[in-house]
Amino acid sequence: MQDVDNIIIGTGMGGLTTALSLLRAGQSVIMFEQHYVPGGWAHSFLREGYKFSPGVHFVGHLHEGGKGRALYEGLGIANDMAFFRQNIKGYDHNIVGDHSFRMPAGVPQLQESMCEQYPNEAKRIKKYLKFSGQVFDELFKAIEPKESIKDWLLLPWRTRHIGRMGWWKLSSILDFYLKDPYVKTHLSLQCGNYGLPPKLAPFAVHSIVAGHCMEGTSYPRGSGSGIVKGFTTNIKRLGGVIKTSTPVHKIILDKTEKTAIGVELHDGQKVYAKNIISNADANVTYNKLLGKDKLSSKLQKKLGKTQYSAAALNLFLVVDMDLRKAGMDSGNVWYSSIPDLNTVYDKFVKKDILEEDVFPAMFITSPTLKDPVSYDGKYHTLELIVFCHYHSFEKYKHLRFGERSDEYEDYKSRISLKMLKTLENVLPGVSSRVKMMELGTPNTAEHYVQATDGNCYGPDKMLTQVGPFAYNIVSEIKNLYMTGAGTYAHGIIGTADSGLMTAGKILNCSREDLLAYSEGQYLRLYDAEDDSQWPEWLKKKAEVKRMRGAKKQLETLTF
């Protein structure tokens, strides 16, 4: 008995990409999402009319020839979304102690700028960037389809830099090539994009993340929901069904308990399908939706050993402040009080959150600068992120969401003030200009996106949990498939790639087959720092937003 070809649990990027790929192949799909909006970490939410996205802060490789662009155009959704290119002179603004450095788009530009600022390190910087680029290129060669014996025989040579040093820890590579602690920190701050300190991070993982950003980064028009809408519009157009506020209670197996045949929803309704695809993380999928008694001892052992990535605190702000005059632009800000990220991470995971007056590091970004059409002419939005250990919030886990205790709310308030005090190091005077603020905690992540221990990136990206050691897309339960950050890669493009791989397993086809170019698709990419090249429709949207903002402000003053 089948109600549909495919049931997908969760609507993160992995699930959405799987769904769209299957629908394009002529199969039917129904998606179940426990949150009231689709998107997983890519979803957006409104507070007092201002939009925030907890998990989308940039997307890389959207330039001509980029892998991200090829993905969106190949899936046939590029025309349904638009992006703003972040400042090409500094898509990342690094502030390390009293040293600042802007990461320009392009390897030659980065090399020139960094060598100019740190001339004593120039030769070493060039060697490091060359090696990082070689490892990045070789990692993609390693996963390319092998069509002949020759391809396999040449693989060790084509990936020789990975084999020699590519799996060293990031700290070891930095120490091998570089001497200046500030240069090392500037080139490793992006470890915040996967949540491991340099002493634990495999260099191969870091080179992928850094390489993903190397040609510059972009931000979706409409924040994360701009990407989600591009997917959902086409999924629905092709007949796919998305059910939000509909949690899956369990995965149904046949009488042999070896084949997945459907799901039971929270209200007891049962839906059956040929294939069940889970976009939930491995702990939720296997331990909660299936149950340990249905799993092999090998899988139970793997689940028990899995370490999840760092949890985070997300402070969302609306401020009455001219951020551009204060020195910010569309680039993201990475702040570290010291040029020693290993010590910074140790403080995050070992110390009580409120032990010191300020946090040792912080990620700072402004959606209204990255998506300038969203700026109302007066109030800017800010998103601040610091890592924390889950144990700091575990004691509040028993409290029902929306019914938190006074103690919990006081704890959050004190953390928010500490984050604001840290922000003062980058934006002096901002604390007195806050119109609205709201703190997201690891418990928030657990509630809205079912993230085990409130993690940000799925399983930790340590060597024993990536690549061939990640969770298999084809599970040991027949007709049950996995997708998402635990299977291939994390991030907006990484999890979308996992969705392509999942669909490929089901359809028995290649990535190239799934990304057959859709005629007439072209991703729109505009400069966030220069509206002179914007089309008239986009300029009009920006004008309307400011007119509405001015009207709202006038009404407030009149009242």
The yes-or-no verdict on residue 550 having pLDDT over 60 is yes
SS3 188: coil
Contacts 24+ apart (CB under 8 A), 407-414: 411/354, 412/439, 412/441, 414/354
Q: How high is the pLDDT of residue 136? A: 86
Q: Which residues, 6 or more positions from 491, have their beta carbon under 8 angstroms from its beta carbon?
A: 193, 209, 212, 457, 485
The structure's pTM equals: 0.94
The span from the CA of 218 to the CA of 448, in Å, is: 25
CA quadruple 371, 376, 378, 381: dihedral sign: negative
Q: Which two tokens stand for residue 173?
A: 């590579």
Q: Which residues pair with 478 in a beta bridge?
A: 259
Q: Which residues pair with 364 in a beta bridge?
A: 333, 384
Q: Are 12 and 40 in contact (CB under 8 A)?
A: yes
Q: Quickly name the fold that domain 310-449 has.
A: Polyamine Oxidase; Chain A, domain 2 (3.90.660)
Domain spanning 4-83+221-306+460-514, CATH architecture: 3-Layer(bba) Sandwich (3.50)
Q: Are 283 and 306 in contact (CB under 8 A)?
A: yes
The yes-or-no verdict on residue 132 having pLDDT over 80 is yes
Tell me how crowded residue 233 is: count the other CB atoms within 10 A of its CB. 13
Tens of pLDDT, residue by residue over 518-541, are: 789 999 999 999 999 999 999 999
Q: Which two tokens stand for residue 80?
A: 């349904």
Q: Are 450 and 458 in contact (CB under 8 A)?
A: no
Tens of pLDDT, residue by residue over 272-285, are: 999 999 999 999 99
| Confidence band, pLDDT 50/70/90 cuts, at residue 157 | low
Q: Are 327 and 95 in contact (CB under 8 A)?
A: no
Q: How high is the pLDDT of residue 555? A: 64
Domain ranges, ordered by start, for the chain: 4-83+221-306+460-514, 108-190+197-208, 310-449
The span from the CA of 252 to the CA of 265, in Å, is: 10
Q: Which two tokens stand for residue 215?
A: 């040609």
Beta strands in 10-120 (DSSP E): 29-32, 45-47, 50-52, 59-60, 82-85, 92-96, 99-103
What mean pLDDT do residues 184-212 have?
95
Q: Which residues, 6 or more positions from 430, have their beta carbon under 8 angstroms from its beta carbon?
A: 319, 321, 326, 420, 423, 424
